């Protein structure tokens, strides 16, 4: 699937994420600051916690339920190496965040 418009830059505060549900697409999109954004599947692979409600520590998102954290560049969990979240390519065009969703 090509890149699709998922949000405007100003909709996501730095250090936070938002869940996007649109046209059958469900994502968590994060603002890491400096114009850098990341997108993942919306559910934590540990016990399906809401990753978009987590917080960022650098390029890592911490799940709000049990604190497992995930590198947003790779999706790999830093607490349990057997866990990973799907990550999707993101680009910013003007003020629009676009994600290459599967």
Query: Taking the complex as a whole, how short is the minimal distance between the CB of residue 28 and ligand FES, in angstroms?
Result: 12
Question: Is 49 near ligand FES (CB under 6 A)?
Answer: yes
Cα angle at 25 between 55 and 66, to 5 degrees?
A: 30
Cα gap 15→57, rounded to integer Å: 7
52 class by beta-carbon count within 10 Å (0-12 exposed, 13-18 middle, 19+ buried): buried
Contacting residue, 8, 11, 47, 100, with ligand FES by CB under 6 A: 47
Q: By CB under 6 A, which span of 2-10, 29-37, 64-72, 87-95 interacts with ligand FES?
A: 64-72
Question: Is 17 near ligand FES (CB under 6 A)?
Answer: no
Q: Which is nearer to ligand FES, 12 or 63 (CB)?
A: 63
Query: Taking the complex as a whole, how short is the minimal distance between the CB of residue 43 and ligand FES, in angstroms?
Result: 8
91 class by beta-carbon count within 10 Å (0-12 exposed, 13-18 middle, 19+ buried): exposed
Question: Is 44 near ligand FES (CB under 6 A)?
Answer: yes
Q: What share of the chain is helix, strand, coil (3-state, %, to 5)?
A: 5, 50, 45
Q: Which residues bind ligand FES (CB under 6 A)?
A: 44, 46-47, 49, 63, 65-66, 68
């Amino acid at each position: 699937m090509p890149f699709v418009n998922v949000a405007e830059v100003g909709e996501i505060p730095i250090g936070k994420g938002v869940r996007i549900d649109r046209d059958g697409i469900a994502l968590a999109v994060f603002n890491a600051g400096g114009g850098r954004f990341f997108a993942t599947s919306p559910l934590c692979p540990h016990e399906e916690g809401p990753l978009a409600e987590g917080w960022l520590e650098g390029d890592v998102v911490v799940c709000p339920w049990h604190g497992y954290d995930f590198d947003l560049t790779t999706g790999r969990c830093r607490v349990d190496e057997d866990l990973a979240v799907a990550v999707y390519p993101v680009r910013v065009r003007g003020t629009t965040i676009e994600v290459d969703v599967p």
